Structure formats: structure tokens, C-alpha cells
């Protein structure tokens, strides 16, 4: 596995893991990469510093969870706890479930999950009240 810092044409910076450098290049060539923030598909590798462990401490990429340090990180961690405690995780069925609730075909309830960028855009265009979360699902984080 390899982690790349990425940058989209809209100026968003994010990171993603790939099976190999060749896997990244293949996905890019086929237009299958998208920005984690805006969904744009013009993605380039960004300059990134290597994750180097200090003596006696494992590098962050070795699976050690970091404690939120800044106020923003703490706020995002608190938001995650609130959402996970008070809503139902519906995974990749998010778009379908949100649409069913909006159309009155399912009882309204708090849900969270994942949607492809095109699905999210269609929900917004159709007036379904949805919003992106500033974190990945724990189920998708590994």
C-alpha cells in the first residue's frame, strides 16, 4: 500500500491510499479518481513529506491513532462521536435511503453513510437535504 497527498484543480488537498504506484496511475488514466471534498476528477499528486518515525515512536502511518490536537481536530472528533451515537449508519445505501425518506417511502430518521459524488449531486439537485461530513466512516477508514 502507498499513501499519496493529492490535489484537485479546485485547490483541495487530501490523501488517499493505493495498492501500488501503478494502481494510482491506472485509476488516474481511466478517470476513476475524484476529489474527496468536491468530487472533481482532475487529480494530481501533491508534494508530501515522508512519514518518518522518531526513535522509539512508531510512525503515524503504522496504524497508531493520533489524539486530536487542534481545536478543529477536537471539534471534528466531537462531531463524529455525536453523529455516530445519534444516527444510523447505512453505508453505500445512503443515497437510496435519503431519497426514500424525502419521498415519504421510509420513516424519517437520522442517517449517515457514503454516496458517490454523482449520487450526492443528484440528491442536492432534487432538494434532498444532505451534507458532506468532514471525516471518513470508521468502516471505510482502513
Span 31-40, pLDDT tens digits: 888 888 888 8
Asked if residue 60 is part of any domain, the answer here is no
pTM of the model: 0.51
Please check whether residue 116 lies inside any domain of the structure.
Answer: yes
Residues 76 and 120 grouped into a single domain: yes
27 within some domain: yes
Identify whether 130 is part of a domain.
Answer: no
* pLDDT(103) > 60: yes
Domain containing 93 equals 71-125
Residues 77 and 118 both lie in one domain: yes
CA distance 55 to 125: 52
- The string of DSSP letters for 63-131 reads TPPPPP-SHHHHHHHHHHHHHHHHSEEEETTHHHHHHHHHHTSS----EEE---HHHHHHHHHTT----
Q: What is the pLDDT of residue 46?
A: 85
Instruction: Check pLDDT > 70 for residue 8.
Output: yes
Tally of structural domains, the chain = 2
Q: Is residue 136 part of a domain?
A: no
- Whether residue 93 lies inside any domain: the answer is yes
Q: For residues 122 and 137, which has the higher predicted lDDT (pLDDT)?
A: 122
Question: What are the pLDDT digits (tens) for 50-92?
Answer: 665 555 554 444 444 566 677 888 888 888 899 989 999 999 9
Amino acid at each position: 500500500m502507498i499513501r499519496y497527498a493529492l490535489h484537485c484543480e479546485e485547490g483541495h488537498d487530501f490523501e488517499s491510499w493505493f495498492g501500488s504506484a501503478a494502481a494510482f496511475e491506472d485509476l488516474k488514466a481511466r478517470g476513476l479518481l475524484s476529489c474527496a471534498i468536491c468530487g472533481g476528477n482532475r487529480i494530481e499528486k501533491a508534494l508530501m513529506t515522508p512519514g518518518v518515525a522518531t526513535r522509539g515512536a512508531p510512525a503515524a502511518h503504522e496504524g497508531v491513532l493520533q489524539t486530536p490536537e487542534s481545536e478543529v481536530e477536537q471539534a471534528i472528533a466531537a462531531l463524529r462521536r455525536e453523529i455516530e451515537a445519534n444516527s444510523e449508519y447505512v453505508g453505500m445505501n445512503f443515497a437510496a435511503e435519503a431519497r426514500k425518506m424525502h419521498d415519504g417511502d421510509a420513516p424519517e430518521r437520522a442517517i449517515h453513510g457514503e454516496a458517490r459524488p454523482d449520487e450526492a449531486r443528484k440528491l442536492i439537485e432534487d432538494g434532498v437535504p444532505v451534507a458532506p461530513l468532514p471525516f471518513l466512516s470508521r468502516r471505510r477508514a482502513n
